Amino acid sequence: MVSIVKSSTLCGVDGVIVDVETDISSGLPAFDIVGLPDSAVKEAKERVRSAVRNSDFDFPVKRITVNLAPADIRKEGPSFDLPIAVGIMVCSGLLPKNSTGEFMVTGELSLDGNIRAVNGVLPMVYSAYKNGVKKFIVPEQNAGEAALCTGAEIYPVKNIRELWELFNSSGLKKPFCADSEKIFSGTNEKSMLDFADVKGQEGAKRAMEIAAAGYHNILMIGPPGSGKTMLAKRLPTIMPPLTFDESLEITKIYSVAGLLKSSGRLIDTRPFRSPHHTVSSAALTGGGRIPKPGEISLSHKGILFLDELPEFHRGALEILRQPLEDKEVTISRVNSTITYPSDFMLAAAMNPCPCGYLGDGDKCRCTQNEISKYTGKISGPLLDRIDIQVEVSAVKYDDLYETKKSESSQEIRKRVVKAHNIQLERYKNEGIQFNSQLTAPLIEKYCVLGQAEKEILKTAFERLSLSARGYHKILKTARTVADLEGSGDIKVKHIMEVIQYRSLDRKYMM
Ligand SMILES: Nc1ncnc2c1ncn2[C@@H]1O[C@H](COP(=O)(O)OP(=O)(O)O)[C@@H](O)[C@H]1O
Ligand SMILES: [Mg+2]
């Protein structure tokens, strides 16, 4: 007899429905899994057999063949354990015939019959729901996450016994549902950090405000202990809020990565990722034997903070160039390619030289050669993709002991949100949200300059020998500065301010 149970596998951050077909026939006892399974799926045999037996059910001593269809997609990970077990239980009469047809089943089994959580349940449930599946059997620990797909009927199960009871008791029990009101609040979580903690550094704070308002990449250069790391960590507290769809996208990525902590709610704060400088290229982009999103995807719609930028491996930094432009990363594998979204804002911090004190009086002891080698680690193309470069100088004593409270994150955020709303309104038919996402034709449409502004920009272009990309970045950033002021036109003062944020590479990077 043949049974078909629906399950799902991940392709990037989307689920693809997989039919688990089980056939039990008489013949020499055997257990085969076909349909492009990876080694973790092949190991399911041992787990399923032990789990069924240890739940006090008979495991059929017959010829069992399991086919995972469609056969041209690679099936990875242990999430097929449970659907395979269900298929076998239906074929051997333990579960009623035709009872499981409308369910999608996913879960890993342990040898004693308990069901373990698996990664990527949210995208699996979501994609299947869109394709007409209404009922889902998921591991108990994944129930909250699965229920984020409103409308889906979720049946959490702890072990094989409970699964058996689900189908063999009279009538299905009530499905698990999340409180749809509570799934998404759309407001930033309360953070312990606040910009008011950072004394002085008004220039850097202003640059941060511009970066947050237009989603511009930002680089801070300054001596050690001046507050660069402190400033960067506070960046999420002034970012504009996420939409429901963005929250869902982020939550899916975290689900696939197995990092979803709070089940029952979408992630509604922009992510802030700060990988250590020893991070490998693969950890940044993602991939691996069982593919997982990397740091750049975990920062999707949020901030990727690279502290001590020149300490990163050059290879790792160069890898960022393509995702910075394309907002997604494609990883080629033996049998497939996977694409993960990676629309992140890059924030970076560095010292101006190896000893850290270049430009701070005559404290610096580095030779010109050492300085060039240090800053040379950051290539021109990468630097070119950073819209705002800001100098963070050492804090002054007076600033440090100033009793006057600095502006709080909440106040800064109000201005950022206002500028963001102007952008949302302006670009509502263009498919973008922020000034930094303007393409060349859109720049021509929305960054129109007067005569005086054109002349200023021409001088800067020649003096700083800017690239075409650099020129566009100035226009985009100036658009944000104008938006923060509520000005419809880009004016000379806006351009002048933005040019300051490009001249640093001239000063330090010969
Ligand atoms: N502007 C500032 N206001 C208040 N404290 C500061 C400031 N700058 C630095 N500090 C103090 O110095 C510590 C180190 O700052 P940090 O941001 O790590 O410096 P950097 O990253 O520039 O080397 C902070 O934890 C904080 O205690
Ligand atoms: Mg630091």
Please tell me the distance from the alpha carbon of residue 17 to that of residue 214, in angstroms, as a whole number: 38
Residue 321 token pair: 């160039």
pLDDT in tens, 42-78: 889 999 999 999 999 999 999 999 999 898 888 888 9
pLDDT of residue 508: 57
Task: Using the mean position of ligand 1's atoms as its centre, give its distance from the Cα of residue 231 in Å.
Answer: 8
HEC string of 206-256 equals HHHHHHHHHCCCEEEECCCCCCHHHHHHCHHHHCCCCCHHHHHHHHHHHHH
Q: 258 CB under 6 A from ligand 1?
A: no
Check pLDDT > 50 for residue 148: yes
Q: Are 219 and 386 a contacting pair, CB within 8 Å? A: yes
Residue 401 token pair: 């002991």
- Taking the CA atoms of residue 374, residue 376, residue 382 and residue 383 in that order, the dihedral angle to the nearest 10 degrees is 80
Q: 288 CB under 6 A from ligand 1?
A: no
Residue in 226, 228, 390, 396 to alter for ligand 1 test, most ligand atoms within 8 A of Cβ: 226
pLDDT > 90: percent of the chain: 58
Residue in 206, 230, 311 to alter for ligand 1 test, most ligand atoms within 8 A of Cβ: 230
Q: Calculate mean pLDDT across residues 241-259.
A: 92
Task: Using the mean position of ligand 2's atoms as its centre, give its distance from the Cα of residue 66 in Å.
Answer: 54
Q: How confident is the model at residue 272 (pLDDT cuts 50, 70, 90)?
A: very high
Task: Using the mean position of ligand 1's atoms as its centre, give its distance from the Cα of residue 417 in Å.
Answer: 27
Please tell me the distance from the alpha carbon of residue 449 to that of residue 440, in angstroms, as a whole number: 15
Q: 393 CB under 6 A from ligand 1?
A: no
pLDDT of residue 361: 73
**Among the ranges given (24-28, 234-238, 285-289, 415-419), the one the predictor scored with the smallest mean pLDDT:** 285-289
